[in-house]
Structure 1
Amino acid sequence: MNDRLTHLDAEGRARMVDVGDKPATVREAVAQGHIRMANATLQRAMSGDTPKGDVRAIAEIAGVMAGKRTADLIPLCHPIALSSLKVDVAPDEKAPGFLVTARARTTGQTGVEMEALTAVSVACLTLYDMLKAIDRGMVIEGVGLIEKHGGASGSYVRDAS
């Protein structure tokens, strides 16, 4: 891992990294996050008994929409052509809450970690927004990169511990 901050020039000024000389390779990233809530809130969300409808489907769509707009939201992030972005909102009865997973894929000159992380974050925020009338005590936590593959830095898989 390179400790050098690539978004700063020699004078310490912010800049977009030039990826023009990098080869286009298949790149994939998986991110996850959780939203914890009261068990009664989870049960209502799963049954569809919420004021705003099917919260899972809407959060998945919101995550995809956000992932596609990452370069508009994160300064200095390259706009990239995603070949795939899948967001899954799965119930987690142990938490209780939902586990949100995003898998982003492209063939390009830069990675898709930010797209996956943005998708997870916005899907979690959408769940909060859609369920806040029932439970304002929800907590979004653990948003992070699970794995990434492709590019010069190779593969990364987060340690499960």
Structure 2
Amino acid sequence: MLIDDAFVLIEDYSLLIEDPLFLIEDALMLITNPLMFTEDALLLIIDALLTEDHLLLIEDALLLFEDALLLIEDTLMLIADPLMLIEHPLMLIEESLLLIEDALLLIEDHLMLIDDPFLLIEDYSLLIEDALLLIEDSLMLIDDSLMLIDDRFLLIEDPMMLI
């Protein structure tokens, strides 16, 4: 599945190389949507000044401004480098694999320390169990990261999902 996604991404990049305006047009359309949020925010501020609950409405308007700016920032990042969206989950996977490696080394160290397995097995079984739990947590983190990468590839394919 990831190989298919990679080929889709390569195909998308080849389209961008052929027609870089394609991405710029999409980006401009994406930026107009947050601008509509800012327009709504300004209308909220005007309404707020005419009502008694003006502080609450102004606060809502400022939140709309913040959302609009975050959306513009996300859009600009997507324009700059769509692969940035998958760098973070890939780093999480790398960290998880390092945790798994550490846990396996811990298990190996404990097994080497056991001279008489019947005497020390209780003590070390708890440490080994902790290491196995660390591996399980790391595998779940890898799974979550892979799902995040998959979501980000979908976002790269269809930036309108940001809205």
- TM-score (norm. length: structure 2): 0.31
Structure of greater relative contact order (alpha carbons < 8 Å, 6+ residues apart): 1
- Structure 1 or 2: larger helix share? 2
- Structure 1 or 2: larger strand share? 1
